Chain A
């Protein structure tokens, strides 16, 4: 019983942390984008606009829940949940430090990647069930894009697994101990590149934000959603920003390890958060810089550039590893 209570408590704490992250990730994104674009960003609600996102979410919760008359009602109501729930379950398997992780799954890596791909279904479902042409186009784009980029994303983590010899995320981090030259970004730079690009595509963020391309599809798959159902989609999107940034940190940037053994006095969580924030900032930064790709270019890029690089990387890693042994 006490086990159950403590598990529930940790889960609740974790949920609080992630929700807090999402709230302030949105705030940070708006601030960073604002500064990059010669604007101020939110600064009205609360000191320095810190309560802006809270106010936005409250507003969304209070809004009328509109279901279009011609929509497929069941599917329409289900879609945001399908998109949202996996995004939370992913968080459970992420190791933030040696001791701070909720579920130490032996196949943690596989779990994270598998569960996160369920959200695609929610997006396609939402696009289809809305019975709106723009939403349908957005949903179809999302399906094509996310399935295409799942392949290089999965392949790019294979070399890491080969080096670490484990699918447990904690083990992968432990293998990278002892300074930044041990981090997998050094031997696996190409895998890192493929992973980062593919994860940006998985997140539907600029330059791969085609499913919700504002200038073409108005809002894409969530065009008919309003109120808290829309908030669910948004929340899921930012949860995945959280998850993908954490995964990048774990797989390639040494997780909670300090860049130099001399700096080990600083708690691991601090290093984790620093690297994690760096990755998140990078995502914001490219959003402010790059234009959007076209659908055919996007597909071509996944299949003709990322996939061969990922495959080649696996082969080279395998050869080098067997020679060294």
Chain B
């Protein structure tokens, strides 16, 4: 006699430990196998883009802090960079150096948060606390620089708000070897762990074509062997002055994404090391009019955030506020592949796959 079985509709989130915020996913499961998955987003939607239309350009910057709150510096940059592109503003060299340094520090901090929370998802508790200790060092550096730990509001159109305080650059320089030593320890603790490898290898696999078709970027794209990184393909800031590798992996699974992100931390440390030696003296703000009023026109710029390619499009009618502003938010774009990856996987792999995409719900919902 056949046993009558039933599919189960399970609501994962918006209050769930592994959805990294208020993301919700409705899954239909047969036993523990997922037959259908529907992501539901928007619980953290604040209408940043619409609000921006009522704000002057400088006033928008703090809103970008709150979009991807794990990587506020890159968000600051993409907005300032786009406005500067539209206005054809010159940014002083020292300001650009400071921007680059904080962005790379932010990338490390962001990847550390990902690393810690991802391992927490997989069931290892300690790495989370180790990662947050090292992130704390970076946040402390940011705090010294701009007086904030998470939402920095550090960059301005045409430069940065604060110059590096006395000895700050040396402290960043001292941080680089410390972080390298820590990374070696983390590799010893996690990267070779049998359970860990068994949990990640071959899970959530897709190929380069699929990744490109879904518009994935960042580690989610590079894990399939596509070496696309905005920093090298369309160099912005001062990235063309430094030599660094774009880490790629080929297997396209969660483990590949893990390896890419770990390697990116090392590359960011390399960039930092090179940049810190050549920071020039000089002003930190360019010649910017008191009221930022870009000429009429439309402009798009994109940069490499820790989560992928973050873009900003501004339509200006020559006023001090944008007529229309649009962010290409990498978390949102990268998330679109999730339902496809989840079909046929188990509940446990749901957490593994979702975590490996590395979303920040503030950015998904905008």
Which residues of A are at the interface with B, using a C-beta cutoff of 8 A?
33, 36-39, 133-134, 137, 206-207, 209-210, 213-218, 287-297
Contacts and interface: CB of A to CB of B under 8 A. Distances in A.
B126 A294 contact: no
B346 A37 contact: no
A70 B120 CA distance: 32
A130 to B, nearest CB: 14
B119 interface: yes
A33 B125 contact: yes
B183 interface: no
Contact of B123 (A37, A134, A137, A215): A215
B351 A37 contact: no
Max chain B C-beta neighbours (<10 A), residue from A137, A214, A294: A294
B124 A214 contact: no
Contacts of B122: 215, 291-292
Contact of B351 (A207, A215, A287, A290): A215
Interface of B: 8, 10, 16-18, 32, 119-126, 129-130, 133, 189, 193, 195-196, 198-199, 346-351
A36 B346 CA distance: 31
Given A215-B18, A291-B196, 9 more contacts: A206-B123, A206-B125, A215-B120, A218-B16, A288-B126, A289-B189, A292-B122, A292-B199, A297-B195
6 contacts: A206-B125, A218-B17, A287-B125, A290-B123, A292-B195, A292-B199
A209 B346 CA distance: 16
Contacts of A294: 198-199, 346, 348-349
Chain A interface SS verdict (over half): helix
A55 to B, nearest CB: 23
Nearest to B349: A294
Contacts of A297: 195, 198-199
A67 to B, nearest CB: 22
- A-B pairs, 10 with minimum CB distance: A292-B123, A291-B124, A37-B129, A215-B18, A291-B122, A291-B123, A215-B121, A294-B348, A37-B126, A288-B126
A133 B126 CA distance: 29
Contact of A290 (B124, B133, B346, B348): B124
Contact of B129 (A38, A217, A218): A38
Given A38-B130, A39-B129, A137-B347, A292 B124 contact: yes
Given A209-B123, A213-B123, A216-B348, A291 B199 contact: yes
Contacts of B16: 218
Nearest to B355: A215
A36 B126 contact: yes
B195 A296 contact: no
A214 B16 CA distance: 9
A290 B193 CA distance: 8
A215 B348 CA distance: 9
A212 to B, nearest CB: 11
B284 to A, nearest CB: 36
A296 to B, nearest CB: 7
A181 B135 CA distance: 48
A285 to B, nearest CB: 11
B123 A288 contact: no
A311 to B, nearest CB: 23
B133 A291 contact: no
Nearest to A219: B17
B195 A295 contact: no
A207 B122 CA distance: 10
Contacts of A290: 123-124, 193, 195
Nearest to B132: A38
Nearest to B122: A291
A133 B16 CA distance: 13
Contacts of B346: 294-296
Contacts of A38: 129-130, 133
A21 B347 CA distance: 36
Contacts of B119: 291
Contacts of B133: 38
B18 A288 contact: no
Contacts of A210: 348
A216 B195 contact: no
Contact of A207 (B121, B126, B130, B195): B195
Contacts of A296: 346
B17 A215 contact: yes
Contact of A293 (B10, B32, B195): B195
A216 B351 contact: yes
Contacts of B129: 37-39
B348 A213 contact: yes
B126 A216 contact: no
Given A207-B195, A295-B348, A288 B17 contact: no
A213 B18 CA distance: 11
A129 to B, nearest CB: 17
A293 B124 CA distance: 10
A214 B351 CA distance: 11
B46 to A, nearest CB: 27
B17 A214 contact: yes
B115 to A, nearest CB: 13
B351 to A, nearest CB: 5
B32 A137 contact: yes
Given A137-B32, A216-B18, A289 B347 contact: no
Contacts of A287: 125
Nearest to A34: B129
Contacts of B351: 215-216
Contacts of A39: 129
Contacts of B10: 133-134
Nearest to B119: A291
Contacts of A209: 123
A307 B346 CA distance: 25
A291 B196 CA distance: 6
Interface centre among A36, A137, A291 (most CB of B within 10 A): A291
A217 B32 CA distance: 11
Q: A209, A215, A218, A288 — which one has the most chain B CB atoms within 10 A of its CB?
A: A215
